[in-house]
């Protein structure tokens, strides 16, 4: 048994012998920011602002809903950045592309919080769906204002850094297949 496991087992035995009881103070628990609607809206706004392309009318902007979901997923989980980079570089030829893509897809597809935020933004008129695309809605300027405020107040610098690193990675259609 490794030293770390042995130490953990010793600590567990001490706590059991001393009849230690865990005390949870609900007022001291902080919910994860990943489930915060305002935080997720900010991240979606940043990703959409950076990657959405103008439509034919040049008034609205659009991007693939699968691409938006993947990019915001990675933005919230920067430790996956290197895996996505390797996945992109591996292409179809590598077993790596298959094994890692399955893990990322599983996490990515189960990200229902993103879907809820997108549905909220659609209900508010900030975004709308058009086939497989997410398009800025009549109130889409509000998302731009969020991004401007984030930049003005220098908020979410690590997330903005991840987004810029994501811009350097080629997200292929093969990576988005099935989403």
pLDDT for 107 equals 66
* pLDDT tens column, 36-68: 899 999 999 999 999 999 887 767 899 999 999
Percent of the residues in the chain that have a pLDDT greater than 70, as a whole number: 84
* pLDDT tens column, 81-133: 988 888 888 766 555 545 555 666 666 667 788 999 999 999 999 999 999 99
What average pLDDT is seen over the chain? 84
Contacts of residue 129, Cβ cutoff 8 Å, sequence gap at least 6: 65, 122, 135
**CB-based contact 84:67 (threshold 8 Å):** no
DSSP letter at 18? T
Q: Is residue 22 part of a domain?
A: no
Q: Is residue 21 part of a domain?
A: no
Q: Is residue 67 part of a domain?
A: yes
Q: Is residue 156 part of a domain?
A: yes
Range of the domain at 113: 34-176
* CA separation, residue 162 to residues 47, 77, 85 (Å): 10, 9, 12
Q: Is residue 73 part of a domain?
A: yes
pLDDT for 100 equals 56
- Other CB atoms within 10 Å distance of the CB of residue 33: 12
pLDDT for 138 equals 86
How many distinct structural domains can be found in the chain?
1
pLDDT for 62 equals 95
Q: Is residue 10 part of a domain?
A: no
Average pLDDT over residues 137-142: 87
Q: Is residue 12 part of a domain?
A: no
pLDDT for 103 equals 64
Contacts of residue 89, Cβ cutoff 8 Å, sequence gap at least 6: none
Q: Which two tokens stand for residue 159?
A: 């997330």
Q: Is residue 19 part of a domain?
A: no
Model confidence at 155: pLDDT above 90: yes
């Amino acid at each position: 048994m490794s030293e770390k496991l042995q130490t953990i087992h010793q600590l567990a035995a001490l706590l059991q012998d001393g009849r230690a009881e865990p005390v949870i103070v609900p007022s001291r628990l902080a919910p994860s920011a990943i489930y915060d609607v305002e935080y997720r809206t900010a991240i979606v706004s940043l990703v959409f602002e950076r990657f959405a392309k103008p439509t034919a009318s040049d008034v609205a902007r659009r991007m693939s809903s699968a691409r938006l979901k993947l990019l915001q997923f990675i933005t919230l989980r920067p430790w996956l950045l290197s895996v996505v980079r390797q996945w992109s570089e591996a292409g179809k030829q590598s077993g790596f592309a298959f094994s890692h893509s399955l893990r990322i897809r599983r996490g990515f597809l189960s990200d229902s919080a993103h879907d809820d935020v997108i549905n909220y933004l659609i209900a508010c008129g900030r975004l709308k769906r058009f086939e497989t695309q997410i398009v800025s809605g009549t109130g889409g300027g509000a998302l731009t204002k969020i991004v401007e405020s984030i930049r003005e107040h220098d908020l979410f610098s690590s997330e903005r850094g991840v987004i810029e690193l994501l811009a350097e990675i080629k997200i292929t259609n093969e990576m988005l297949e099935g989403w």
